[in-house]
Amino acid sequence: MAHIRNWTFLILFIFVQLVACGSKVEPTPIPEEPTPLPLPSSTVEVASKIDLTWAKIQETGVMVVGTSIDYPPFAFYKANHQVDGFDVALIREVAARMGVELKFQDMPFNSLIDALQIGQIDVAISAMSATPEREAFVDFSDIYYVGEDAILGTAASAEITTLSQLENSRIGVQSQSVYENWVRQELLEPGLINKRDMYIYAEANQAVKDLRNGRLDYVILDLKPAELAAVDAKLSIVGQGLNSQRFAIATPTNSSELQTAINRALTELQNEGVIEQLAANYLDIENLLPIDPVPQITPHATTNAVGCVDAMAFITHLNLDDKDMTNPPQILPGEAFRKGWRVQNVGTCTWNSTYALTYVDGSEPAASMGGSIIPITGEINSGEFYDFYVDLVAPIIPDTYQGFWSMQNGAEEFFGQRIWVGISVVDPAIVTPAVTPTPTPEINFTVDRTQIKQGECVRFAWEVKNIQAVYFYAENELWDQNGMPGTGYSIECPQETIIYYLRVIQRDGSEDTYAIPIIVQSVAGSPVIEEFVLSPSDQIVLGQCVTIRWIVTEAEVMLSRNDFSLWEGAPIQGYLDDCPPVGTMTYVLEASGPNGTSRVQKNLSVVQGTTETAVLETTPQMTPSLLP
């Protein structure tokens, strides 16, 4: 984590007019809100004794709260996309006692202290333990909760009573958490585990997902999130209570008045039993553990080894504003669209091509919508604005989707406010896209666009009346194995320029074939999918499995079937056995890198067999393996 000298004032954000797509935007001052000039050096010592954070909160009536909304039950998004959790409910109660309103900023956990130091947020609450190491950079309120650690393993894992029992294991921890430091000190530095066996995640839920999928042996996190994860019968809490944690609200240094106001509110809430009630509601705890005071450590550090800090602030939606998920824009299934945001570099590091905006999580796997990493173009200095645009493709299944994106620096550390794209995918039967019909009145065959970049998808649609049969297929496929209904659509993600055909069998047996070429422009530096093979390649019987094999260049890999993620974060070379249900299965291999995304899809027909087959489980049976 990068730390810098403490700033003694908050630089007010200023807005600008859009001057270019996906590029640096020069700020234009707003007369009503002039940016304060830096204090002369002779006044720094005097200003450092003034609680400027509390003065700003009192002036605006709003307290900006940073939290990592990916850690249930402390902070999470509900089904209606609203923020909730123990920490969220507690800080709302604290703010009510202080007489101020709240504004939440969703950030990666490892960027919260940086955000405090530069004044991007006023306080941070995110199941954050008050430790001497953190006390060197921020101040803490009184302790509001004492919790335990938990070691999460599989149902078959043995009981763990000492951390040394995790020797030679693959262990997942959240970045910048106390558990990362704990594993480093107790296991990595003594040589009990190899460096490659310590997996560090921006979000704890991704570590839990990989544990569930057999890619880790253990995940170390707080007890309550571990208990929620252990509801899954595949997982089990195999150890706990080896490293208790004391949670507190973090504030900037030299914010004694703000601390006093927060501590006064916490005391009232404690005496009135409100904190205990919140713990019962969110954590299922009737009796809280005793709370000890936080030790004060001085002096505070003012610089770090790097000498600058990374921070990003969201400014505005450039298009497709979802109104905080209260009114997401409607998009058709498989429709390609572009989403734009304006952000500001509010840190002290200069952004360059090693910095990028990347997808981190979503309401469900399909919420990634095929978005690729977007690197910064040029250099963006502190205080400057930048416009990001990402090309996306709406999921196939009608629903509401929310995908979260975060800035990442050259060291692959996430920082700044999380931003998102929210859409509502509507049933095409309800909203029919405008199409340009072909000359034949009984046959309409269209596509939303004929020129795309490598990694993008297109949507074909057709409507054919008074015919005997219809087939839709690519030039490298067998037409007679791709029968379709008279009215339908198909999402295609060609890797290279290719022709798609609609073959129509008339009632008198005559045939008509219509062709639409799709021109695919290659993207320099995008990942290369060297091999993607299904075996069998065209058709199987229900109960039979297909072997999927792939080889790609260095990239983030995802394999899906009919918009269902089979393996997120797959290896660059491997295979998977999948046993799909009856129907037409579309397998998509997606490889994402800094300069773009490449996709290849293969279709497979699954038919009902003539012999009796076993009842297929709702969850697909898969056997992931790495190639030798």
Distance between CA atoms of 175 and 177, rounded to whole angstroms?
5
Backbone angles phi, psi at 578, to 5 degrees: -130, 140
Arithmetic mean of pLDDT, 35-44? 35
Q: Is the pLDDT of residue 467 over 70?
A: yes
Which two three-digit tokens encode residue 621? 């049976």
Q: What is the pLDDT of residue 264?
A: 93
Q: What is the pLDDT of residue 300?
A: 33
Within a domain: 26: yes
Regarding whether 324 and 261 lie in a shared domain, the answer is: no
Sheet strands side by side (includes 529-535)? 529-535, 546-552, 573-578, 622-626
Share of the chain above pLDDT 90, in %: 30
Within a domain: 342: yes
Arithmetic mean of pLDDT, 329-354? 90
Residue from 199, 154, 209, 155 nearest 177 by CA: 199
pLDDT band at residue 304 using 50, 70 and 90 as cut-offs: very low
Regarding whether 482 and 419 lie in a shared domain, the answer is: no
Number of domains in the chain: 5
Q: 159-202, pLDDT tens digit by residue?
A: 999 999 999 999 998 877 888 888 988 898 888 998 778 888 86
- Final residue of a domain: which of 397, 429, 461? 429
Distance between CA atoms of 394 and 336, rounded to whole angstroms?
6
Within a domain: 436: no
Arithmetic mean of pLDDT, 19-36? 41
Q: What is the pLDDT of residue 423?
A: 94
Q: What is the pLDDT of residue 151?
A: 95
Within a domain: 303: no
Question: What's the distance, CA 243 to chain centroid?
Answer: 28
Q: What is the pLDDT of residue 525?
A: 67
Arithmetic mean of pLDDT, 270-277? 90
Within a domain: 63: yes
Within a domain: 302: no
Name the range with the highest mean pLDDT among 25-34, 35-44, 199-208, 426-435. Answer: 199-208
Query: Residues for the chain: how many in total?
Result: 628
Regarding whether 77 and 179 lie in a shared domain, the answer is: no
Regarding whether 225 and 275 lie in a shared domain, the answer is: no
Regarding whether 153 and 141 lie in a shared domain, the answer is: no
Q: What is the pLDDT of residue 171?
A: 92
- Final residue of a domain: which of 468, 489, 521? 521
320 vs 294, more confident: 320
Arithmetic mean of pLDDT, 579-590? 88
Q: What is the pLDDT of residue 243?
A: 83
Question: What's the distance, CA 396 to chain centroid?
Answer: 20
Regarding whether 91 and 176 lie in a shared domain, the answer is: no
Cβ neighbours, 10 Å, residue 133: 11
Within a domain: 288: no
Q: Tell me if residue 252 falls in helix, strand or coil.
A: coil
Regarding whether 603 and 484 lie in a shared domain, the answer is: no
For residue 227, the surrounding DSSP H or E stretch is: helix 223-229
Residue from 402, 371, 341 nearest 82 by CA: 402
Regarding whether 159 and 120 lie in a shared domain, the answer is: no
Q: How many CA atoms lie within 13 A of 609 on its CB side?
A: 13
Regarding whether 416 and 340 lie in a shared domain, the answer is: yes
Arithmetic mean of pLDDT, 281-299? 56
56 vs 550, more confident: 56
* pTM for this prediction: 0.52
Q: What is the CATH number of the domain that holds 158?
A: 3.40.190.10
Domain span at residue 37 reads 1-48+310-429
Q: 108-124, pLDDT tens digit by residue?
A: 888 899 899 889 999 99
Q: What is the pLDDT of residue 610?
A: 55
Q: What is the pLDDT of residue 99?
A: 95
Regarding whether 418 and 332 lie in a shared domain, the answer is: yes
pLDDT band at residue 480 using 50, 70 and 90 as cut-offs: confident
| DSSP-assigned letter for residue 283 | I
Q: What is the pLDDT of residue 298?
A: 34
Q: What is the CATH number of the domain that holds 468?
A: 2.60.40.10
- Final residue of a domain: which of 488, 521, 554? 521
Distance between CA atoms of 483 and 492, rounded to whole angstroms?
16
Within a domain: 185: yes
Q: Is the pLDDT of residue 20 over 60?
A: no
Regarding whether 269 and 332 lie in a shared domain, the answer is: no
Regarding whether 255 and 118 lie in a shared domain, the answer is: yes
Arithmetic mean of pLDDT, 377-385? 91
Q: 65-101, pLDDT tens digit by residue?
A: 999 998 888 999 988 888 999 999 999 999 999 999 9
Share of the chain above pLDDT 70, in %: 81
